[in-house]
Amino acid sequence: MRRGFACSVLTPAAVTFVRRTYVATALPPGPILDREHMPTFTRSQAEALLPKVRPLLEDLQRRKQSYDRRPTDPVAKEINALLVEIARLGAEVKDPDKGLIDFRSLRRGREVYLCWMLGEGERVSYWHDLDSGFTGRKLIED
């Protein structure tokens, strides 16, 4: 895992919350989770990814419910694989229980997150500052 990236680490024994983003421990080579290389998305680009991200989040929730946190639990590898797949799409998993994800974006020249959660439909309707999290969500005004 790279330094300076806000994340939590999924180990075979448990999911350890470090900051705000869930990532897998067995990351493939490459800069997919390095802040300098994270893609930024427009609202329409993020919305175009929702049909791919939604089933991955739903699968993540199902597998997480059956995860018993033992080092030998094979579900840990499955969860890791889902987290890697979501990260490769450019989304950051913030709360797997809620199905909450963020997409990096630019708003008025500064970096923010576009925020979406399972059950919110086909539109990404919220954004927040990088450091404010879910409680700082603001409605995107068209």
d(CA 124, CA 31): 25
d(CA 46, CA 65): 27
Mean pLDDT of 110-115: 96
pTM of structure = 0.77
Domain boundaries, the chain: 8-139
Mean pLDDT of 122-132: 96
Tens of pLDDT, residues 46-70:
999 999 999 999 999 999 888 877 7
